[in-house]
Amino acid sequence: MIYKIKNREIGMTILEVMAVVVIIGILTTSSFFVLKGIGTHLLVSDASMNFKQSVALARQSALEKNKPYLVRCFSDSTPQLWRIIRVDSVGFFTLVSRDTLHRSVKFGKGNDISGSPNGPDGNPIPTDGISFPANALAIQPRAGVPIPGTVYFTDGKETRAVFVSAIGSAVVMQYDGTNWK
């Protein structure tokens, strides 16, 4: 390509154009691999924050409606999910909401937890990643959570824990190699 600017010829050879295209291709490919790792990190973080918000919703609903609520995790389903369920005075269950995990995120622990440290609640981490009895967090109105526990989310590399206290408040934590923070 040759262009004339003020009676001067300037131009680029096809080799120069090809070099620019190759450099742009290398930069695009390398940024794809960098951004891919950030995406899975965000999925684990998003799942743990969504679970924390579900616990807050169930706790608030239990207080407002004066009825017990359950947050039930289904680690054996495909895809894995959890549901918020209202328990009526006669024992009927009513589905309030449900949330499904992304296909790359599971209940459990990842490779970032070396060995088998205890979770933030001081108990060993269960194999299915859910420490509540029958995988259900019970929230009683005005009484809180009879059995506090933790739910773990992982993509295989990173693990986040959502610890639910006896009053029903939830905290998202990450293992830094020695402690849960």
pLDDT at 178 over 90: no
Please, what is the average pLDDT of the chain? 88
Are 82 and 51 in contact, with CB atoms under 8 Å apart?
Answer: yes
In the chain, what are the domains?
Answer: 2-174 (3.55.40.10)
Residues 97-144 pLDDT 10s:
999 999 999 999 988 886 667 888 888 999 899 999 999 999 999 899
* pLDDT at residue number 70: 96
How far apart, in whole angstroms, are the C-alpha atoms of residue 133 and residue 73?
11
> How many C-beta atoms lie closer than 10 Å to residue 37's C-beta?
12
* pLDDT at residue number 79: 92
Residues 44-81 pLDDT 10s:
999 999 999 999 999 999 999 999 999 999 999 999 99
Between 139 and 16, residue with greater pLDDT: 139
What is the mean pLDDT of the segment spanning 37-45? 78
Question: Tokens 């549901």 map to which residue?
Answer: 83
Report DSSP letters for 19-85, one per residue. HHHHHHHHHHHHHHHHHHHHHHHHHHHHHHHHHHHHHHHHHHHHHHHTS-EEEEEETTSSS-EEEEE
List of residues 6+ apart from 50 with CB closer than 8 A: 99
Identity of the residue numbered 59:
R
* pLDDT at residue number 37: 61
Between 80 and 157, residue with greater pLDDT: 80
How far apart, in whole angstroms, are the C-alpha atoms of residue 20 and residue 16?
6
* pLDDT at residue number 51: 97
